[in-house]
């Protein structure tokens, strides 16, 4: 189970208020300081101190802070803390990310987190399922972000309300593990209880060398019942953008060439992985951010940051006029490292574009893939990467 620097303090208060004196398993709790870390103000520092002291008092094995942290939903899979067939709860709505590995993972409230830390148990109503049968192959400059935005645009932000989004089909072979992590991450944006991918060779190759414990692979029964079934042709999906102020307000990038961003953010638990850094770097190579545009790059973990340095991506970003941040959630939730002012427009690889999500209530957020975001930063307008000059 998982907590971060915003949700864990509330859970600790509940833990103490209920008189709990021990945790169920110090090795099965992960506390990740990522939302306001390094601390942006006194309140953020106090919250992290409370988490730090709790982790120390109960000898929590998987505690990640400055220098060894990352954005939680990128860090846990990277560290091998999630495997197929496992159950993961987290006091963060995007805990559904781990369904990419064939785990049942879902977000809970801080009170449930407190009870989970003490007892190792949680209660759920078993969700019904929607099947997404993926066929075909992704085209160049199209990624998992475009696929999940397309799906949310098709079914709506409540289209999977308290249901399980199950991804299967021969099209899975076209999706990297990073594509899947991105898609499962945004299942909550369709109202889903969880998103889960069928385990295949791509999954097993990812967990190989990361997960040393035994795990179980589960597959849907042949007679499994679904509320609905959608066949998604990956080859028909275009670079897609979600317009303000809901992830369901999707359009093709080419329809939005009149939108001028003030800021571009490439990172987050949705799109801060190494393949995202690579996609952005390939676009920025030999190019420069357009005048009047601020571009912020946030690798999701220290490992991804180091790999980006080794591969020359950080040099490319800086040469292109971008700023590169330490791993943090930062601007995604309007935290810090890129708050928007009145009426400003952002193109971001994050997962939510609600009113005021990234700053001022009159600001606007367009959700996009790293390819679209980087192209938009270079062109100074929302741009289909295939039209980049």
Confidence at residue 389, expressed as pLDDT on a 0 to 100 scale: 78
**Residue 127 pLDDT:** 95
In tens, the pLDDT along 43-87 reads: 999 999 999 999 999 999 999 999 988 999 999 999 999 999 999
Residue reference for tokens 């638990």: 269
pTM: 0.95
Which pLDDT does position 294 carry in this prediction? Answer: 98
Q: Which fold has domain 2-119?
A: Aconitase; domain 3 (3.30.499)
In sequence order, what E strands does the chain have? 2-4, 30-32, 62-64, 87-90, 104-107, 129-135, 164-168, 194-197, 228-233, 240-242, 250-252, 263-266, 294-297, 323-324, 345-348, 364-367
* Among candidate residues 236, 290, 224, 286, the one with its CA nearest the CA of residue 261: 290
Q: What are the strands of the beta sheet with 250-252, ordered from one edge?
A: 250-252, 240-242, 364-367, 345-348, 263-266, 294-297, 323-324
Pure H helices in 32-155: 42-57, 72-78, 110-119, 144-155
Superfamily for the 129-218+225-236 domain: Aconitase, domain 3 (3.30.499.10)
Which stretches of the chain score pLDDT less than 70? none
Which of 161, 27, 182 is closest to 96 using CA atoms? Answer: 182
Segment 5-22, tens digit of pLDDT: 999 999 999 999 999 999
CATH 3.30.499.10 range(s) for the chain read 2-119, 129-218+225-236, 241-387
Dihedral angle, C-alpha 278, 283, 284, 286, nearest 10 °: 120
Residue corresponding to tokens 């295939």: 386
The yes/no answer on whether domain 241-387 falls in CATH 1.10.3720.10 is no
């Amino acid at each position: 189970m998982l907590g971060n620097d915003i949700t864990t303090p509330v859970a600790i208060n509940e833990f103490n208020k209920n008189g709990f004196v021990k945790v169920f398993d110090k090795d099965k709790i992960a506390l990740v300081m990522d939302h306001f870390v390094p601390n942006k103000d006194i309140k953020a520092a106090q919250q992290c101190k409370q988490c730090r002291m709790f982790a120390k008092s109960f000898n929590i094995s998987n505690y990640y802070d400055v220098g060894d942290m990352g954005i939680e939903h990128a860090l846990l899979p990277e560290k091998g803390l999630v495997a197929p067939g496992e159950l993961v709860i987290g006091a963060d709505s995007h805990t559904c990310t781990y369904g990419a590995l064939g785990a049942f993972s879902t977000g809970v409230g801080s009170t449930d987190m407190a009870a989970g830390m003490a007892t190792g148990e949680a209660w759920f109503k078993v969700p019904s399922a929607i099947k997404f049968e993926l066929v075909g192959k992704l085209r160049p400059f199209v990624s998992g972000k475009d696929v999940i935005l397309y799906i949310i645009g098709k079914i709506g932000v409540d289209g999977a309300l308290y249901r399980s989004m199950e991804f299967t089909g021969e099209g899975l072979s076209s999706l990297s593990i990073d594509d899947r992590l991105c898609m499962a991450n945004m299942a909550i944006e369709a109202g889903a209880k969880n998103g889960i991918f069928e385990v295949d060779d791509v999954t097993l190759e990812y967990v190989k060398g990361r997960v040393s414990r035994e795990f179980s692979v589960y597959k849907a029964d042949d007679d499994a019942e679904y509320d609905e079934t959608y066949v998604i042709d990956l080859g028909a999906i275009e670079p897609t953008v979600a317009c303000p102020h809901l992830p369901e307000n999707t359009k093709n990038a080419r329809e939005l060439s009149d939108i001028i961003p003030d800021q571009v953010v490439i990172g987050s638990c949705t799109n801060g992985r190494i393949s995202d850094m690579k996609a952005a770097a390939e676009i920025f190579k030999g190019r420069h951010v357009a005048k009047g545009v601020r571009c912020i790059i946030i690798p999701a973990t220290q490992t991804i940051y180091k790999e980006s340095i080794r591969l020359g991506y950080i040099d490319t970003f800086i040469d292109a006029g971008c700023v590169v941040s330490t791993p943090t959630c930062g601007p995604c939730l309007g935290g810090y490292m890129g708050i928007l002012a009145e009426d400003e427009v952002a193109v971001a690889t994050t997962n939510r574009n609600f009113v005021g999500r990234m700053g001022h209530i009159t600001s606007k957020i367009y959700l996009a893939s790293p390819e679209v975001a980087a192209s938009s930063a270079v062109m100074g307008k929302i741009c289909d990467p295939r039209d980049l000059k």
